Amino acid sequence: MKEFDYYIFIDYSVDIIGYSIIEKKKLFELIPYISKFTHYKDVKNKSSYTRAIKRIIEKSKVLEYFNKYKIRKMRENMEIYMDVFEFVKNHNNCIIFISIDDHEYSNFQKFVHIIEGSKTIVKPESKLIKGTPEYRASLVLDTLLNLERLKNVRNKN
């Protein structure tokens, strides 16, 4: 596995989109705390899972490991992309790994290549290998998006 200076994850869930950025050192410190994270769609007892994961996030202070993260409504996706591009531009001497949802991959990869190209690797989410640190960290954003989506659904009712 190639090591990068920063790992960026971009994902969406129904009508919300988000990103998270984590430094290499912090990624490996975070791994023990996120071993119970899984894709929400694969969970059988969703309410128990969300309660347990919320406790893990709070108790282990999972969000403090990330340099930056943001969740917005899907119509505000340009804000998410601009934040990521600004980060890549400001860290042009770093090697950066970006994982993005498969639906957005081709356009995003072209745009990153235009802006920065050689030191930034863009990989579709489906190509992450299960069990790797990158895969595990992507589950944090997936979980945060689903928790936010569920909160929005409850607030509407």
- pTM confidence score: 0.89
Measured CA distances, 91 to 65, 71, 88 (Å): 18, 22, 5
Label residue 142 left, alpha or beta by phi (over 0 means left) and psi (-120 to 50 means alpha): alpha
Task: Reduce the DSSP state of residue 2 to 3 states and report it.
Answer: coil
Q: What pLDDT shows up at residue 41?
A: 83
Q: What is the pLDDT of residue 157?
A: 61
Report long-range pairs for 104-112 (Cβ below 8 Å, ≥24 apart).
104/10, 104/12, 108/10, 108/81, 111/81, 111/85, 112/85, 112/88
Query: What is the rounded CA–CA span in Å between residue 97 and residue 27?
Result: 12
Strand partners, 123: 99
* Domains of the chain, start order: 6-156 (3.30.420.10)
Per-residue pLDDT of the chain (157 residues; tens, 9 = 90+): 567 899 999 998 888 999 999 999 999 999 999 998 988 888 889 889 999 999 999 999 999 999 999 999 988 888 998 998 899 888 877 888 888 888 778 878 877 777 766 778 888 888 999 999 999 999 999 999 999 998 887 777 6
Q: What pLDDT score does 14 carry?
A: 83
Closest to 37 measured CA to CA, from 151, 131, 130, 136: 136
Q: What is the pLDDT of residue 53?
A: 93
Write down the pLDDT at residue 156. 73
Which phi and psi angles does 116 have, rounded to 5°? -135, -60
What is the predicted pLDDT for the residue at 143? 92
Give the pLDDT score at 142: 92
- Dihedral over Cα of 150, 106, 129, 30: its sign: negative
Beta bridge partners, 16, equal 13, 73
| Confidence (pLDDT) at 148 | 92
pLDDT of residue 15: 86
Which residues, 6 or more positions from 38, have their beta carbon under 8 angstroms from its beta carbon? 49, 139
| pLDDT for residue 28 | 92
